[in-house]
Amino acid sequence: MKFKSIFLAASLTLIALQVGNSLSVNAQTLYKYVDADGKVTYSDKAPKPGEKAEAVKTDVQANVVAAPKNTINGVKQTITGINARGKQLEVDRAALQKNVDDARAAMEKAKKALDDGQEVLLEEKQIVAKEGGKNTMIIKESYYARIAGLEAAVKAAEANYERAEQQYRRKAP
């Protein structure tokens, strides 16, 4: 929001300089129009009947529009301060991106562990010998518990990744 105000102040100053150059030495009135979308337009043309416009003060001596002060919410804005905040935003964005990348890597690792862990391990099976030479393999409960743990790890990693993505979308400039 602060950057928008600074950008608006700079834009108004440029507009003021351009308008100031186009105004004659005679005192003229400058009108500010705001359309339904919030777009601001300045003109030296008087509003038509029914149009809403406000007269903007001009400095007749200098023939320019009075520029807004370089303060936002009472805090003086400087180029150094603006640059420092810009650099901090870059650092914050990089940290948020790193969180997303780390969460994605953890999720992929958990999915790979689940894929690789589908095979029944030797200690998770039991061979039961039956009469007639037919053997039956029984999968022990430990296999199902291990798979459930791997699936839970995937779900937790997916949720963590989604949180990191949401945080990035909310906070990254």
The SS3 call for residue 66 is: coil
Statement: residue 118 has pLDDT above 60: yes
Tens digit of pLDDT for each residue in 9-65? 666 565 655 655 554 444 567 888 887 787 888 888 877 777 778 887 766 555 555
Task: Give the chain's radius of gyration (CA, Å).
Answer: 34
Whether the CB-CB separation of 117 and 146 falls below 8 Å is answered with yes
The SS3 call for residue 127 is: strand
Whether the CB-CB separation of 44 and 70 falls below 8 Å is answered with no
Tens digit of pLDDT for each residue in 103-113? 999 999 999 99
The SS3 call for residue 72 is: strand
Strongest mean pLDDT among 86-90, 134-138, 150-154: 150-154
Query: ∠ CA 96-97-103 to the nearest 5 degrees?
Result: 90
CB atoms under 10 Å from CB of 72, counted, come to 16
Statement: residue 68 has pLDDT above 80: no
